[in-house]
Structure 1
Amino acid sequence: MEEVRPMEEYLQVIPSELDIMKQEFKRKNLELEKKIKKLEEEKMYLSLDVDLQKKEVEKVRKEKMKVEEDRDDLKEEYKKAQWQKEVQEEKARAEYWERKFQEMRSQNLTLEKENKGLKTKLKELKSKVEDLEVALHDGELRIEQLEAQEDCFKEELHQVKGQVRDKDYVIGEAIAQIREIVEYVRDLAVRADALSMMYESTSDKGRELALLLDKVRTLGVRAKTYM
């Protein structure tokens, strides 16, 4: 449902006829006052003829009466416009509160539906809680079993660590010996390079020696990866 707009927005949309009438009244009143003042000034300076003065006075009096009547009419129209504005404001307020009532009614119906849904959800949650309590109990039993197994595993782990330490010592000794052998092979490779330079020959013995020295150099290269 469309959200009810604030009361000020309803009041703002009311036509500002009263303000227009008020400004028009002020404008006409100012014009009439200027006209009266002018007529009174003319009256003061009329001294030619008594009859003429009487006529002018009568004319001024009638015009003054007309001005006063116009002013009364303007006042009446102003009051009427003000009353109409008040009526429109009351209608706007009534419309606002009617919309507000409908909105609250709609929200109330929505809350009632949500409340029914929450009750159903609460029952489901209670059932899930019971299931979780059963699962928790089973979990506690499982934890006790695992703790018992953990003690056994710790003992086995302690024994394994002892065995690993022994194996690490043996492996360390083996690595040290391998490094010594690798260093020896590398030294042989260096000597093989030197010998190959000294005993280059096309004879079978020379070729056999060169092949042997080449194998030694290959072993020397491979031995570098173990250093």
Structure 2
Amino acid sequence: MLPDDILYRCGNFDWVPLLGIWGAVGYAPLLNQTQRMKRLAVGSIAAPEYIEWWGRRINDNISGPSQGDSQLTRKHPQVVPSELKKKIEQMVEEKMNLRLGMDVQKLETEKLRKWKNKADGDLDSLKTDYKRLRYSMKAIGLGKTSVQNEKGELKARVAELEKTLYQYRNRNSVIELRASLDKIEQMKRRNQVRSRDHIMGEAVTQIREVADYLKTLVVQANILSVKYELESDW
């Protein structure tokens, strides 16, 4: 009996069994169909070479015995790694890669944690500096307000002095003039022997004295005004 599936040709042999999806490296439906057609064409006749080869074939998964230790090989066959073993090795490798990825992730997390702690420390320091700056600005603002108050008081004082000076100037001028006129009238009434020029000279002298005094007051007022302007420029 021939096997169900055979290859078209393998080396010097016309028919070689095909394991297909149960152990072959590759499997093509078209090749399988060709083999079936070949089997139908050949029929039940098998070449003697094929029968001899079939009896001497060696399993692909078991290595052939050597001349020295054939008995040991029979007891402990050398098995080629199967797909399951390859799958297990692949899973082990993936597990190792996963562990490496987790270690890298831990390092990144630790680095981010240190960076966050440093950022929090910098933020706290910045908040402290901001509070100090606000306190300094408040202190500067209070000092500025105090200076402005002093300037306002000085300005009010200068205005008051100017007003007082103006009133004093007018009042003294009127008083002095009235006193001079009263004195002239009194001298006329007493019939004192004085010449008219002498009386007028005294009146002019008194008026000049009053004018000099007023000039002195004006100079003092100007000095106060200049002092106020200098302090305002501060």
Q: TM-score interval w.r.t. the shorter chain?
A: 0.3 to 0.5
Give the number of the structure whose alpha-carbon radius of gyration is greater: 2
Query: Normalising by structure 2, what TM-score?
Result: 0.36
**Between Structure 1 and Structure 2, which shows a larger proportion of helix residues?**
1
